[in-house]
Amino acid sequence: MTSTLIWIAVALFAIGLYLSWTAGRLDRLHARIDAARAALDAQLLRRASVAQELATSGVLDPAASIVLYEAAHAARQAEEEHREVAESELSQALRAIFGETQQVEVVREAPGGDEAATELAAAVRRVPMARRFHNDAVRAARALRRHRKVRWFRLAGHAPFPMAFEMDDEPPVALADRATA
């Protein structure tokens, strides 16, 4: 009888230890999502800020400046539920304006334009990487949260279900070439 109780206690302890480890792993994944989201927000803000600075610099033609400024402003001011659409529209505006290398060369020839073009190229290159890191963390957390043991024992607590950030983040060809040059 005593050995049976000891084995039951050891089994319950092992199960409790495993569930605690799983809850800790899930908590670390949620912390990773928060950090990746902060990094993504920083990169999106940087891209919009650089685009807005370039739009107001007078280097671009007036129509391109207006389109780029409005898209960047909308991306910076968008509320969370509309952010993906606003960021996608900024990506589309960047592709429309910097789709050809001629426009990038015009920017580079202006005073201070080389630094602006380099900074914009770096910003548009970092956004897809930051989004990929965020979405990978979300995918890992979702996979763990789908397990029965996590659902049955409510190991996720009150944490919201992680959502991926889906947007059009394809960089303009001319700027992507500039980033590697």
pLDDT, the chain, mean: 92
Q: In the prediction, which pLDDT does 177 show?
A: 64
Spatial distance between the Cα atoms of 181 and 151, rounded to a whole number of angstroms: 49
Q: In the prediction, which pLDDT does 50 show?
A: 95
Let me know: does 75 contact 150? Beta carbons within 8 Å: no
- Band of residue 6 on the pLDDT scale cut at 50, 70, 90: very high
CA proximity to 47, closest of 89, 98, 91: 91
Integer CA distances (angstroms), 164 to 41, 44, 130, 170, 175, in order: 13, 15, 12, 17, 26
pLDDT single digits (tens) 29-52 = 999 999 999 999 999 999 999 999
- Band of residue 181 on the pLDDT scale cut at 50, 70, 90: very low
Q: In the prediction, which pLDDT does 112 show?
A: 82
pLDDT single digits (tens) 18-34 = 999 999 999 999 999 99
Q: In the prediction, which pLDDT does 1 show?
A: 82
pLDDT single digits (tens) 144-165 = 999 999 999 999 888 899 999 9
Q: What's phi and psi for 4, nearest 5 deg?
A: -65, -45
List, in order, residues 6 or more apart from 161 with CB less than 8 Å away: 142, 145
Q: In the prediction, which pLDDT does 127 show?
A: 97
pLDDT single digits (tens) 100-142 = 888 888 888 888 888 988 999 999 999 999 999 999 999 999 9
Q: In the prediction, which pLDDT does 5 show?
A: 93
